[in-house]
Amino acid sequence: MTEDGYNPYEMAQEQFDRIAEKLNLDEGLKDLLREPIREYHFNLPVKMDDGSTKVFRAFRVQHNDALGPCKGGIRFHPEETVDTVRALAMWMTWKTAVADIPLGGGKGGVICDPHDLSDREEENICREYIRAINQNIGPLRDVPAPDVMTSAQHMLWMMDEYETIQGEKYPGVITGKPQDMGGSKGRTEATGYGVIYVLRELLKELDRDIKDTVASIQGFGNVAQYAAELFIEYGGTVVSVSCWDQEDKKAYSYYKEDGIDLEELRSITDRFGSIDKEKAKEKGYERLPGEDWLKHEVDVLIPAALENAITEDNVGEIPSAVDMIVSGANGPITPEADEVLEDRDMIVVPDFLANAGGVTCSYFEQVQSNQNYYWPKEEVLGKLDNSMTSAFYEVWDLAQRKNVRMRDAAYMIAIQRVAEACEARGWV
Ligand code: GLU
């Protein structure tokens, strides 16, 4: 359960149950897919800079591997819970399936706050995590990646620890690595760019010009920044972004009516995606409460921070001008809020389709790492664009044909693919 009372795992199970019912899934298959196949819980003893040892609680959840090795990020967050990780692992299974890549779903998390840790302490957490899980991950088992508050540097420390234990080089054990250390070009941009490839296609279908489209983005971390980058490059306007303020221990949104200047904001942002509030003021940004990101009269909302961003408490505050939501974050809309959005005929591109660009590029990274042969950036991004575009149309076309929402169509495709893989393997 998160602090605000939402349990993402229950949410993920509810969403699954609803579609499983519609698809008439076999009972055994339902039981198999509504829970993770394996999970690992550990206490990591970590040497701190002051000489003490601190114990951090950590998890790795493998939801399903019928389509291939499990795949999914590792998050560092002070409010991480095993249920959040379970939900995220389940969503990874649907994400890889809807993106049509031969991988399963997994997720990891460590309960810690990187704001309070030195680089050395974070390195120690990464190495301890791999010491605990090394027998149960691997290029053919489960391949971690970055997620909330973890970066290419964390992935490199983890890969190094894995290789040290194995005594061999395994660049395919983890993705999202630094580019000169086995990482794929374009991986950093991939999730945010993927969100915009999908939005671009949606706008085409609606016969609307991206150049006349205005967005408000929740977050200013990796996904939000690269979504803003490509959206602005295509001619769109972003009027607001938001971020956590560690000093005030609350979120703020930053608004500029004629559109943010991305490079200007980036230059006053730390590695956690937190914007310097004083400097933002000097540069003419209006500072508003964090939740105001969804109150602006824009065309599209892009939640690109954490889960449970749009709830039954704030969904009513979305102005009627907004008619599209493209989810960059995982699980940003609670089922209650989603019902309200459905009644409003809001077009919602579901998270596990819209943000599948990250894992799709991770898949490309794995392929490159395993071959030890790296592709130019244009090739990576071209392939990514093709994958995201075709995943979008598969979902869009099914939604039109069956007259269902994109979320349901995406679930139908994903669950069907995983169910068929389980059946074909003779698991059920
Ligand atoms: N953490 C990202 C996600 O939620 C990427 C996972 C991956 O690349 O494996 O999709």
Low-confidence ranges of the chain (pLDDT < 70): 1-4
DSSP notation for 301-342:
EEE-S-S--B-TTTGGGS-TT--EEE--SSS-B-HHHHHHHH
pLDDT tens-digit readout, 69-121? 999 999 999 999 999 999 999 999 999 999 999 999 999 999 999 999 999 99
Burial class (CB in 10 A: 0-12, 13-18, 19+), 245: middle
pLDDT at 5: 72
Contact 194, 355 (CB under 8 A): yes
Looking at 143, 173, 203, which one is the last position of a domain?
Answer: 173
Residue 12 backbone phi and psi in degrees, to 5: -65, -40
Among protein residues, the one with the nearest Cα to ligand 1's atom 9 is 72
Instruction: Count CA atoms closer than 13 A to 284's CA, side-chain side.
Output: 8
Same domain for 136 and 223? no
Looking at 310, 327, 354, which one is the last position of a domain?
Answer: 354
Say if 93 falls within a structural domain: yes
Mutate which of 191, 307, 360, 367 for ligand 1? The one with the most ligand atoms within 8 Å of its CB, which is 191
pLDDT at 379: 98
Among 107, 177, 256, 295, the active-site one is 107
Q: How many Cβ atoms are within 10 Å of 220's Cβ, its own excluded?
A: 26
CA of 22 to the centre of ligand 1 (A): 28
pLDDT at 6: 83
Map tokens 């920044």 to a residue.
225
The ligand 1 atom at the shortest distance from the C-alpha of residue 144 is 9
Look at the chain and report how many structural domains it folds into.
2
pLDDT at 1: 38
Looking up residue 155, the CATH number of its domain turns out to be 3.40.50.10860
Full domain range(s) for residue 221:
188-354
Contact 273, 243 (CB under 8 A): yes
